[in-house]
Amino acid sequence: MTEEKLIAERERLAQMWYFEHKYASEATYIGGMDEVGRGPLAGPVVTACVILPPDVELLYLNDSKKVTEKRREVLYDQIMECAISVGIGISDAGRIDEINILEATKEAMIRGVRDMSIKPDLLLIDALKLEDLDIPQVSIVKGDAKSASIAAASIVAKVTRDRMMVELSKRYPGYYFEKNKGYGTRQHYEGLKKQGPCEIHRRSFLKTLDSAWK
């Protein structure tokens, strides 16, 4: 990276600490929270909450969707090494079918926070509100691109879920979960046509897409 690009990247990262600085006087531990996997046809929804040390430098930290897989893996290791505390919550396909994806996501988020070794005094959340969690919260639309803590949570949740889907692909071959991570790709639909749904498919999602795979 050239010196000019490094300066530009550090300036971008500095902007991503805006919300953490804004609320620093109100909380000792500010946790960023995000989810991954609300849209796929199969697999769990995974959430993460991350408390970062103030102004820690994580070059290329961003919304996980804007970061390459290789870079996400590097950032994941860096985040897990430097974070003050990390919490991960998971709701599986059965739970998603039982209570719907939104409520399953919220449930996973709450479970992840409650399992943290050091719990946040304030939560920055990407466009959600957790009514059943007694911690002050700030909902930020597209927060994973605006907050360092939420971006870190986005990376942790994404890498965690992707690794899970790769492992699940070995147990449930033929759907190409290792490639599509449960999303509705052509290969995934072909697998559904040949084999029908497996244990980790979300039946409530498939009902609205019958024509795509039957």
pLDDT for the residue 60 = 94
- Per the structure block, which two tokens stand in for 122? 């304030």
Through-space distance between the first and last CA atoms of the chain, rounded to whole angstroms? 50
Give the chain's domain count: 1
Please report whether residue 52 resides in a domain: yes
Please report whether residue 191 resides in a domain: no
pLDDT for the residue 20 = 97
Contact 14, 47 (CB under 8 A): no
- Predicted model pTM: 0.95
Amino acid at 151: A
CATH number at residue 108: 3.30.420.10
Please report whether residue 188 resides in a domain: no
pLDDT for the residue 43 = 98
pLDDT for the residue 211 = 61
Reading the chain (214 residues) residue by residue, the pLDDT tens digits are 788 899 999 999 999 999 999 999 999 999 999 999 999 999 999 999 999 999 899 999 999 999 999 999 999 999 999 999 999 999 999 999 999 999 999 999 999 999 999 999 999 998 888 999 999 999 999 998 999 999 999 999 999 999 999 999 999 999 999 999 999 999 999 999 999 999 999 999 998 776 666 6
HEC profile for the chain? CCHHHHHHHHHHHHHCCHHHHHCCCCCCCEEEEEEECCCCCECCEEEEEEECCCCCCCCCCCCHHHCCHHHHHHHHHHHHHHCCEEEEEEECHHHHHHHCHHHHHHHHHHHHHHCCCCCCCEEEECCCCCCCCCCCEEECCCHHHCCHHHHHHHHHHHHHHHHHHHHHHHHCCCCCHHHHCCCCCHHHHHHHHHHCCCCCECHHHHHHHHHHHC
Domain assignment of residue 132, given as a range: 3-164
pLDDT for the residue 212 = 66
Question: Phi, psi (5° rounding) for residue 51?
Answer: -105, 115
Please report whether residue 55 resides in a domain: yes
